[in-house]
Structure formats: C-alpha cells, structure tokens
Amino acid sequence: MRETLYDPIRRRSVAATPEEQVRQRFIQRLLERGYPPSAIQVEYKVGKGRFDVAVLSRAGSLWLLAECKASWEGPTARQWLQTWTQLRRYAQALPAVHHFVVVWGSRLWCWKADTGELLEDLPPYPA
C-alpha cells in the first residue's frame, strides 16, 4: 500500500511523494504563521503549468506564490536557473504578486516580487 499524507487544504489524503512531503511541511509552516487555510490554494494553475502553493490576500490579490522542490541537497546553479525561469514565466501570466517563495527540501527562500529583496522569513499574512 502506498504511503499517504493528509492535505488540510485539499481535505484529502494524497500520495506521500518527496515533493508532496516538502509541500505539506510548507503548508504547515504557513498555517503555524497564521495564514488562513481558506487563503491557501494547492497546485494553483497558471496557463499550462502550476505553482505548488498560492496564497491570496483577503482582497483577492496574489500575496505569495511558492514552488516546492523535493531535492534534499542544496540546489545547483542550473537547478536555480530552471526554477527561477519557471517562476518568472508563470508570474508573467498572472496579475501582480507580492512574494515569491522557493522551498528546497527543508530550506526556504522568500523575496519581494517587486524589488527582489530577499527576506529572512515568510512575511506575515496581510491584515
């Protein structure tokens, strides 16, 4: 029998793939920081692709878009370039987003989309 994880956003069990494990840890981190479950979307569709996690503000704007990667080792320069290219391509198909996040295994990087400023942690959910 295949191992599963419960996804509190989709409200169902999902296959416990390495990427899904990273995504579920990230979702738990969002919930622990006070992000409302109703604001979180999993596998947010963008054109022919998707972001692993999207967070909408109360006003409905895109507060945060996250891409989760299963690799437990640090990303190589090539992997970073591929991930950054993916983020930018998807973001160009969307209205303005406030923050981008890349979760690589247990490491997280978050930056402001408009300035590129790297943040030390996730921003608080907007009031």
- CATH number for the domain including 29? 3.90.1570
- The alpha carbon of 31 is separated from its chain's Cα centroid by a whole number of angstroms, namely 13
Counting the structural domains of the chain, the total is 1
CA distance 92 to 86: 10
CA distance 66 to 87: 9
Judge whether 72 lies within some domain.
yes
The whole-number pLDDT of residue 72 equals 60
Structural domain boundaries, residue 38: 4-8+17-119
Judge whether 125 lies within some domain.
no
> Block means of pLDDT (10 residues each) for the chain, length 127 residues?
93 95 97 97 82 93 91 75 79 84 91 91 94
The whole-number pLDDT of residue 44 equals 82
